Chains A and B, each alone.
Chain A
Amino acid sequence: MDNDRIFEPFEDGLVQPPYRSEKYASTGRMAPDNVHPIAPRTATELSGPIFARSADEDRNLVSGKGGQAIGSLMRLKVRVLDEDARPQPGSFIEIWQANAAGKYQHPQDQRDAPIDPNFRSWGRGVVDANGEIDFITIRPGAYPVPNSGGWWRPPHIHLSAYGSTFLSHIITQLYFPGDPLNEIDGIFQGIPDPVARERLVLKPDADSGIPEAALGFRFDLVLRGRSQTPLEN
């Protein structure tokens, strides 16, 4: 291993949200004090867990025992790339979200809004050989942030992705194009660079939908790091 590769310069610039944000009050209690300018890239960071494939129904959030979930049906196609634009088959993707009424199926969501018995709040799966995975879900509703003085989160889908290394694991949120709440959301607007924010917005795409049944949306996810496979000629 090269000595100059083990510690990479930190070059996130305005792309990643800073730990502290005035618009997101609880960051004041949680932001870490001592983040050292050291980014190890050793065997530890450049290896990572391998995830088993899961069942196809794990990518369908809307088919309940009593019928279809309420809301605007959508198919979400996620393409996973590394920093060299190489597809990342084998990556493990998880999503979770509120239902159409903005209610989470979670004991910590105490808000008086309806649970949809036919909606399952999570999906997961392994990315295919083309670097793609798709989920059938509904467009989630907005929901209020407790004790925030009137802040409502815009509709969003939470996404976690494990690539091939510990370094590459990311958790983020996907937003809907044109939603007015995007403009005043303390979490979305916590990303300083407008271009980086725009990359978290889903792209409507007819080919990704199901005719007369589900809207299509695409999302390109870029994981940190580079795959180890050598370049082809």
Chain B
Amino acid sequence: MTRLTPTAAQTVGPFYSYGLLTKEDCVVAGPTALGRHIKLVGKLINRDGNLCRDALIEIWQADAAGLYNGRDADADPAVKGFGRTLTDENGSFEFQTVLPGACPGSGNSWQAPHFAVGLFAGGLTRRVVTRIYTPDSPELEEDEVLTQLGKEAAKTLIGRWVSENTLEFDIRLAGEGATAFLQD
């Protein structure tokens, strides 16, 4: 079997998106989607503690039943599952979506509800990935990614509810309180 080496990544650079990104790209789930409609908000912070503008943030998630669009036949058609946006001049991002459901992990285990996050920015040579979890999911204890990370690192992947329907998660690239990232 031929085994090809994947193409090397390069930075997204400072000039992404003029014409490529639309306002709707940050809408992950439409108004008719089943489940709890939420906003996922946060900021991107670099090693110097500065807020980073014009970074491309993308998320991929399951629907409220834990099913993935394009993979699971019964997935909610109103949940695209995918969203992307640029951080604004304050380094902030915002997605409109629904809370994902738990989805199967390996064996009989469950993964706690989570958003996969991909991050691209000037000064980042390649994609950086992590996950965002919610603080109140019963499956957090058995989630394999969190277990593998260990308690301290796992804590940095838990968002916080700042209002009934707004989940906040700041991404700290480095320094004090840095977010744990996964190999991409």
Contact of A44 with B118 in the complex, beta carbons under 8 Å: no
Say yes or no: is A43 at the interface (Cβ < 8 Å to chain B): yes
Measured CB to CB, the nearest residue on chain B to A171 is B12
Q: How far is the CA of A197 from the CA of B122 in the complex (A)?
A: 19
- What are the interface flags for A166-196 relative to B under an 8 Å C-beta threshold, 1 for contact and 0 otherwise? 1101111100000000000001101101001
Given A30-B47, A35-B181, A200-B8: A6 and B125 interface contact (C-beta under 8 Å): no
* New contact pairs (19) apart from A42-B111, A49-B80, CB-CB < 8 Å: A2-B106, A6-B105, A24-B125, A32-B128, A32-B181, A35-B182, A38-B182, A43-B103, A44-B68, A48-B82, A81-B4, A84-B1, A85-B2, A169-B118, A169-B127, A171-B11, A187-B10, A193-B8, A222-B7
Given A3-B106, A121-B18: A158 and B12 interface contact (C-beta under 8 Å): yes
CB pairs A–B below 8 angstroms (14 shown): A15-B6, A28-B47, A31-B173, A31-B174, A34-B156, A34-B180, A47-B72, A83-B4, A105-B18, A108-B14, A108-B54, A173-B10, A173-B11, A187-B125
- What are the interface flags for A121-145 relative to B under an 8 Å C-beta threshold, 1 for contact and 0 otherwise? 1101000000000000000000000
In the complex, chain B residues 119-165 whose Cβ is within 8 Å of any chain A Cβ: 120-128, 131, 144-145, 148-149, 153, 156
* Chain A residues with CB below 8 A from B50, complex form: 29
Q: What residues make up the interface of B, taking CB atoms closer than 8 Å to A?
A: 1-20, 46-48, 50, 52, 54, 56, 58, 60-62, 68-72, 80-82, 103-107, 111, 114, 116, 118, 120-128, 131, 144-145, 148-149, 153, 156, 173-175, 178-184
> How many whole Å from A95's CB to the nearest CB in chain B?
9
Measured CB to CB, the nearest residue on chain B to A50 is B70
Given A27-B123, A34-B181, A196-B8: A104 and B70 interface contact (C-beta under 8 Å): no
Contact of A124 with B20 in the complex, beta carbons under 8 Å: yes
- Residue of B20, B60, B111 touching A48 (CB-CB under 8 A): B60
Contact of B183 with A32 in the complex, beta carbons under 8 Å: no
- Residue of B2, B15, B114, B126 touching A19 (CB-CB under 8 A): B126
Measured CB to CB, the nearest residue on chain A to B4 is A222
> How many whole Å from B96's CB to the nearest CB in chain A?
16
Contact of A172 with B8 in the complex, beta carbons under 8 Å: yes
Given A15-B8, A49-B60, A94-B20: A38 and B148 interface contact (C-beta under 8 Å): yes
Given A6-B106, A171-B10, A223-B7: A48 and B70 interface contact (C-beta under 8 Å): yes
Q: How far is the CA of A76 from the CA of B169 in the complex (A)?
A: 40
Q: How far is the CA of A193 from the CA of B173 in the complex (A)?
A: 26
Chain B interface mostly helix, strand, loop or mixed? loop
- What are the interface flags for A11-42 relative to B under an 8 Å C-beta threshold, 1 for contact and 0 otherwise? 00001111101001011111111111111101
Given A16-B8, A222-B6: A104 and B182 interface contact (C-beta under 8 Å): no
Contact of A121 with B180 in the complex, beta carbons under 8 Å: no
Contact of A106 with B106 in the complex, beta carbons under 8 Å: no
Range class of the A interface residue count: 35 or more
- What are the interface flags for A81-111 relative to B under an 8 Å C-beta threshold, 1 for contact and 0 otherwise? 1111100000000101010000011111100
* Chain B residues with CB below 8 A from A3, complex form: 106-107
Q: How far is the CA of A10 from the CA of B184 in the complex (A)?
A: 8
Contact of A43 with B71 in the complex, beta carbons under 8 Å: yes
Q: How far is the CA of A115 from the CA of B103 in the complex (A)?
A: 49
Measured CB to CB, the nearest residue on chain A to B184 is A39
* Chain B residues with CB below 8 A from A170, complex form: 6-7, 9, 127
Measured CB to CB, the nearest residue on chain A to B183 is A39
* Chain B residues with CB below 8 A from A18, complex form: 125
> How many whole Å from B80's CB to the nearest CB in chain A?
7
Say yes or no: is A1 at the interface (Cβ < 8 Å to chain B): yes
Q: How far is the CA of A27 from the CA of B128 in the complex (A)?
A: 13
* Chain B residues with CB below 8 A from A223, complex form: 6-7
Given A1-B106, A36-B180, A40-B145: A17 and B60 interface contact (C-beta under 8 Å): no
